[in-house]
Amino acid sequence: MTESATELDTPDLDSCVRIGSIVSSNSHLDYVVEIFKERDCDRPPELHEREFGQPVFIKKVIDGTEHAVMGVIYDTKLVDPDQGRTGPRLAQDDQAQFTPGYIEERTTLAGVALLGTAVVTDDRTIADPTHRMPRWTLEVDDTVYHCPDEVTVSFHTVDGQIQLAYLDRLIDIAGDLGAEVIVALIDRLRRMLPEDDPNQRVLDVVEQNIEWQAHERRGVV
């Protein structure tokens, strides 16, 4: 956050950190992303750049117009192919790349829920955000980018008002961690908005509602 305001007023979508690539999907809105490691790219994401609740985007050209399909990391999972095996390993470390489609090394997977879409403008930022369900399907190996907070805010701003209209869909996908991922998103938005922005109080009410519903669902209250 500290690095945001000064030099990155309008972050360039092309220079965003690559987080990983899509390996599979559970449904139309629910994708599995394998997080990049040293070997996969020049600058793999740092831990805080692919944390729980991190907004992400995938670039797609639709009918000649470039779009950003927006998503959020709502879950992560570690995969260790060695787990449960005994004895020495048969495969060499660098053999993994010859067996595409199989994860044969230690990997971090992230669940990404799609939130909506926006148009990518000529100056490499976004416009016309919509929280309606994206109609397009992503593909295996599509690159998933870290979404800078400024872009996150503009994706959430419709007519000057903060919106999280995808909320019920996100809760459906994220399941048990739905409330937490929303609270993480709200926190992020709140940090970006000025203290006296009227949207702050609206976000408070939304957060309270979400947390209360989660408590109810979990039988706390």
- Rule CB under 8 A: say whether 31 interacts with other proteins: no
- Rule CB under 8 A: say whether 57 interacts with other proteins: no
Residues between 128 and 147 with contacts to other proteins, criterion CB under 8 A: 131
- Rule CB under 8 A: say whether 212 interacts with other proteins: yes
- Cα separation, 21 vs 24, in Å, equals 9
Which residue's CB is nearer to other proteins, number 17 or number 165? 165
- Rule CB under 8 A: say whether 215 interacts with other proteins: no
Q: Applying CB under 8 A, which of residues 32, 167, 177, 192 lies at the interface with other proteins?
A: 167
- Cα separation, 178 vs 214, in Å, equals 8
- Cα separation, 219 vs 213, in Å, equals 10
- Cα separation, 171 vs 210, in Å, equals 10
Minimum CB–partner distance for residue 208 and other proteins (Å): 5
Q: Applying CB under 8 A, which of residues 204, 215, 217, 218 lies at the interface with other proteins?
A: 204
Minimum CB–partner distance for residue 113 and other proteins (Å): 16
- Cα–chain-centroid distance for residue 164? 15
What number of chain residues touch other proteins (CB under 8 A)? Answer: 19
Note whether 144 and 33 are within 8 A (CB): yes
- Rule CB under 8 A: say whether 153 interacts with other proteins: no
Strands (E), the chain: 18-27, 30-35, 55-62, 65-79, 107-120, 126-130, 143-146, 157-158, 161-162
The footprint of other proteins (CB under 8 A) covers 131, 161-168, 201-206, 208-209, 212-213
